Every structure is written in structure tokens, then in C-alpha cells.
Amino acid sequence: MPGAGRSGRGRRVPSAVRAAGAGAGVGALTGFLGVGGGFLTVPALVALAGVRMRTAVGTSLLVVTVNALAALLARAGTAAPVDWAVVGPFTGAAVLGALDGRRLAARLPAARLRTVFGYLLLAVAALMAADTAARLA
């Protein structure tokens, strides 16, 4: 059955059903913990939905954009005021960083990109754990 199993090389073939399940899980964690975005979406797409790393990154960016737009529309007029003096410089720097990151990612083999992403996830987890421990002390 197309899209429902493994390729001849043992890699999962992307599946809409697995993608929907992974999306529901990431959405639930995002709603519950207030985290998500690419940090959960990319690994879920790769490990659970069978999407290749580079495709998962692009897919994640679109998913995050749509989710952020939906959240912005849902919270319009109900959230605290926006500090535009922070939004402008932050967004501008983030756009420039994204362009530089894309150029760097294009030079890295997929396996190295996965390794770098994994270490980044571990570093973020360690920082979050340290922050939580400090708040509990």
C-alpha cells in the first residue's frame, strides 16, 4: 500500500495518517507545555511520519507559520499589548539569522544536520532543566 510502510532501504515512507498522529501529539504538547514549534515538529516528522530531515525542516516552518497565525488571530485583542520596540529588532535579526542558517544547512550533509539538531535539543533541555531546578530551589 503506497505511503504506509517502509522503503526498500528500511526507511519509513511518509504517511498522512502518521503525520496527523504526530501533529496531534505535538499540538497537545504545545498546548499543554507552551513549547513546540520546530523543536518538536521536526523530530516528530522524521521519526514518526517518515519524512526526510531537510523536508521536515521546511514542512515544520510552514506548520509553525500557520499555527502562529491561527494563535495570533485567536488572541487578537485579548493578550497583553505588543512591544513594537522589541518586535522590530527581534524579527529583523531573526530573519537575517534564518537566512544565514539556511546557507549553513545547505552545506551540511543530512546526517550532520540531524546530529547538530540533536545536540541543540539536548542543550535546550539542559537549560530548561537548570532553570526549573533554580526556580524550585
Q: What is the pLDDT of residues 81-107, one digit of tens each?
A: 888 899 999 999 999 999 998 898 888
Distance separating alpha carbons of residues 134 and 137, to the nearest angstrom: 5
**pLDDT tens digits for 69-80?**
887 787 777 767
53 close to 112: Cβ distance less than 8 angstroms = no
User: Three-class SS of residue 12?
Assistant: strand
Distance separating alpha carbons of residues 53 and 44, to the nearest angstrom: 10
94 close to 102: Cβ distance less than 8 angstroms = no
46 close to 56: Cβ distance less than 8 angstroms = yes
